Chain A
């Protein structure tokens, strides 16, 4: 995915005008907080790098974590986090890319790569900027992922409860027994509890069972 595909909601105030670094990063922080999702965050971060650093291309990769998918975004299709073929139109030797890890305080969540415009690489100022960008990106990524985790965990409680209710009624059992049955099916079929519950709600039968709901009994 490239930032052009995703579009951008960044404010006009960032383009062209010269702010001091602190104001720039404050603006970035506000933009990231307003970002709707992970891809929007990554697009904003890359655009910021292109605007504020002497940088011809940038790419960011976020690793999968738990049930969350990984994702990659680039400023230009020819530029990826792992590719060395940066920009053939650039004259002369291409300087090595600058790679900075994104961390959430516990582990590395991804990597951001910057390609310098100058053959002799990035200035000290640009390197500092790159690391600050990585810090802002890491915070925003951690916040959105934690939010998604929390939202999913709350939803799981709802779905499991509803599935238990259906079983309680169909099989005339109490909540504890229904939970034991659901958990056994989850273990026997090596399927997560909430997936078993979701499937039961949709199909009105336990996964892997050919029989109808009337057979949804206990041993």
Chain B
């Protein structure tokens, strides 16, 4: 079912020794990001798991703004990867400065600050279920041409195949170690959400919003604040404000 190009990508990404320029010890997801960056080409790439509740953990990201791109979307709860997963279609923003600021009032300016000028998000999906997103960014504005768009779609198809392959390997009810690592990186966010829900007597959705608002207003990452909540350095009172 996979096209020849997708098979070639899988072969390149899933074998360790093919490309000497790859860092030793880098995993399949790091290689996918590196090779997508070189092949499309773009400035950098990231792959994240997605759940109906939002960002499910970053599988890999190239150095520099790509990691910031994933963290911002996680912290803010908005951005192209969340839109792509929710709408189950690619989100293409060729000029973030010109049109991304109103599209994503929180993510847009912060992404521009991080050095991102254009961003392209491709859902990793089977049927009605979005499992993740491949995010590509450029440090200069400009859209993908037809060939580049096709190449990006092929990398997204390869990424979906790898996800399924890893899950098939792990078996039902379990997670492959690569995927477990990504979800475990969010452990404190889930725990903090539960804690805030009990502290402020609100539902889990509102608890996550409180956590997010605190992170945003203190210019901190969601994960950092969540760790402080778990360590009981930051607490939330029932009347919706918080103490430190």
Contact = CB atoms under 8 A, between A and B. Distances in A.
A169 interface: yes
B131 A147 contact: yes
B129 interface: yes
A170 B131 CA distance: 33
Contact of B191 (A37, A67, A68, A175): A175
A24 interface: no
A162 B192 CA distance: 7
Given A162-B204, A165-B194, A154 B51 contact: yes
A149 B126 CA distance: 12
A168 B194 contact: yes
Secondary structure at the A interface, as helix, strand, loop or mixed, is: helix
A212 interface: no
B184 interface: yes
Interface string B186-215: 110111111111110000100000000000
A218 B158 CA distance: 47
Interface string A58-92: 00000001111000000000000000000000000
Contact of A161 (B52, B164, B170, B187): B187
Interface stretch (A14-22, A109-117, A136-144): A136-144
Given A147-B167, A149-B172, A158-B56, 11 more contacts: A35-B127, A65-B172, A66-B173, A68-B172, A147-B127, A150-B164, A153-B170, A154-B179, A157-B184, A168-B191, A168-B230
Interface of B: 1, 49, 51-53, 56, 126-129, 131, 163-164, 167-168, 170, 172-175, 179-180, 183-184, 186-187, 189-199, 204, 230
15 contacts: A33-B1, A36-B127, A66-B172, A146-B167, A146-B168, A147-B164, A150-B131, A151-B131, A152-B173, A154-B175, A158-B51, A165-B198, A169-B195, A175-B187, A175-B191
